[in-house]
Amino acid sequence: MEKDTICALSTPYGVSGIGIIRISGPDTLSVINKIFKPGRKRKLEKIWKTHTVRYGYIVEEKGKVIDEVLVTIMKSPLSYTREDMAEIGCHGGLAAIKAVLSLCIRNGVRLAQPGEFTKRAFLNGRIDLTQAESIVEIINSKTEKSLEVSVKQLTGSLSRKIAVLRNQLINIMALVNYEIDFSEDFENISVSNIAEKIDTVINEIKGILGEGQSGRVLTEGVKIAIVGKPNVGKSSLLNLLVEEDRAIVSDIPGTTRDFVEGTICINGIPFTIVDTAGIRNHAVGIEKIGVERAVKWMEKAEMIIVVLDSSSELDFLDCQILSRAKSKPHIIVLNKWDLNDKNEKYFDEIFMGETIVKMSCLTGEGLKQLHAAIIEKLNNGVCEINNPEFFLSIRQQSCLEKTLNILEEIQTLVKKKTSCDITAEMIRFSIVHLDEISGRNISEETLEEIFSRFCVGK
C-alpha cells in the first residue's frame, strides 16, 4: 500500500450543483477528523463506521466554516482503492472546492495524479489492468453499446479469458517439464498431444483477437477518411454526415487545407469521419502539407470514402486516388448526382463489383444508402460486430499477437521434436506476454502511460 494520502476533485472542474472531493490513503480518517465538524450539534464518533454518510461542515484551522458538506467514509479494504477513503460532497462552487482542497493539502495530503485512484486499485490487487482500462472506456462511452461492452470488461469478461489461456499454457509447460525430467527430447509424451493442446490455445487466441477487435470498434469507433480531388464535395459530405456546418464549403478548389473531424453514430456504432484536403499533384506551400496529411489519413483510417465528381468523367488523378484506397475497405461516392443526367451507365460499368453510392451532398439524396454501405463495409471489411463481451486496446492486442506468434513458433519446434528445454523456455516467454495484458508483469513506464489517459480524480 502507498504511504501518501492523495486528494482530487472527482467531478468536473467548474460551477455545478455539487462537487465531490476524493481522499485516499492511510491518513484519510485523521485528516477528516481534523477538518470535519458534524452538523446539528452532534458529536463525532471516535470511530467512523465504514460506508456511512455524515452531514456537517468543513472547518478551517481558525474555526471558519468553508462549506456545508456530506462526508462518506469507506474503510480499507472495502473501497475503490482498497485504502481508507473519504468523499466530501461540497457545494459545487469553485471557491468552496479550492478552499477544501487547500485545507487538505495543508494537512499533509497531496494532489492526485491523473488516474492515481484507479492505479492504486490496480496496485492493491482490486482490479487487473484489463478492468482498469475498461474504466477509461466507461467514462468515455458515447453510445449504449460501447458502455455495455466496457461494463462487461470491468466485471472481468476479458480477465477470465486470459486466465483460462494462462492455465492452459502452464499445463502445457508442466507436461514439457515432465518430459525434461526424463529425457532430452520428446520421447515419453506424444508430440501430437502437446501439438494439439497448443493448437487449442492458438485457436482460442485467434477468437479473442477477433472478438476484441469488434469490441474496440464499439468503444473507440472506426476512423473513416474522406478523400478525393479538390472541389468534389468532400467537406459538403462531412457536413451532411455530421448534420452541421463543420467544414468550410466553397467552389474554390483547395478550400480545405488541414483535416477536419466529426463523430457520428450509425446503428449504435461510433465513427470518426475525417475530411481531408483535396489531393492534387504539384500543390505548394500549405496546400502541399494538407495533401501530404490527406495521404497519411488514408493510411491511418480503417475505411476510406473516395469522393468523385459525377458530373465529369474520371481523370488520371481520380484513378491514382482510387488505386491507393483499394488496399483498405473503401466506398466510392459519386457526388453531385443532381448534376448528372447521362453518366450512369459509364460509372456502373467502370465500377462493376465496387461499392458505389450515387449521391448529392446538396440535396441529401443517397445519404441512407451511404449509411448502409458504411455498415456493410464494416462487417465485411473491417471486422464483424457480434455483440462482443470485451474489447482489446491496441496495447492488449499487441501483447496477445506476440503470444500468438511465439506459440506458432513453438508449434513448429514441437513438430520437429526440437529440444524440450527450448520449448519450455518459449512457453514461459509466451506467458510473460500474456501477463502484460492483465498487468501481472508490466513495466512502470507502460503503467504510467495507461494511467495518464485517465482524468484527475479517477
Which stretches of the chain bind ligand GTP, using CB under 6 A? 228, 230-236, 249-251, 253-256, 278, 335-336, 338-339, 360-362
Based on CB atoms, which residue is closest to ligand GTP, 154 or 238? Answer: 238
Q: Which of these ranges, 77-85, 94-102, 232-240, 292-300, lies near Mg ion under the rule CB under 5 A?
A: 232-240
- Residue 105 DSSP code: H
Alpha carbon distance 310, 248 (integer Å): 21
- If one asks whether residue 254 binds Mg ion (CB under 5 A), the answer comes out as no
Write down the least CB distance from residue 249 to ligand GTP, Å. 4
Residue 293 Cβ vs ligand GTP, minimum distance, rounded to whole Å: 12
Which of 222, 207, 225, 235 is CA-nearest to residue 268? Answer: 222
Among candidates 403, 439, 432, 399, which has minimal Cα distance to 198?
Answer: 403
Contact call for residue 262 and Mg ion (CB under 5 A) = no
First to last CA, the chain: 18
3-state class (DSSP) for residue 175: helix
Least distance to ligand GTP from the beta carbon of 334, Å?
A: 10
Residues linked to residue 303 through DSSP beta bridges, in sequence order: 224
Coil vs helix vs strand at 112: coil
For residue 403, what is its C-alpha cell?
A: 503470444
Q: Which is nearer to ligand GTP, 269 or 279 (CB)?
A: 279
Specify the 3-state DSSP secondary structure of 88: strand
Least distance to Mg ion, CB of residue 279, Å: 11
Total number of residues that touch Mg ion (CB under 5 A): 4
- Confirm or reject binding of residue 255 to Mg ion (CB under 5 A): yes
Q: Which is nearer to Mg ion, 72 or 272 (CB)?
A: 272
Closest CA to 67 of 99, 104, 31: 99
> What is the DSSP code (8-state) at residue 334?
E
Q: Say whether residue 256 binds Mg ion (CB under 5 A).
A: yes
14 interface partner picked from ligand GTP, Mg ion, none, CB below 5 to 8 A per type: none
Nearest Cα residue to 204 out of 249, 254, 231, 167: 167
396 binding Mg ion? (CB under 5 A): no
CB under 5 to 8 A by kind: which of Mg ion, ligand GTP, none does 230 bind? ligand GTP
Residue 312 C-beta: closest distance to ligand GTP, Å: 12
239 contacts Mg ion (rule: CB under 5 A): no
Nearest distance in Å: CB 298, ligand GTP:
15
Query: Residue 48: what are its φ and ψ, rounded to 5°?
Result: -70, 140
Cα distance between residue 174 and residue 165, in whole Å: 14
Residues contributing to the site for Mg ion (CB under 5 A): 234-235, 255-256
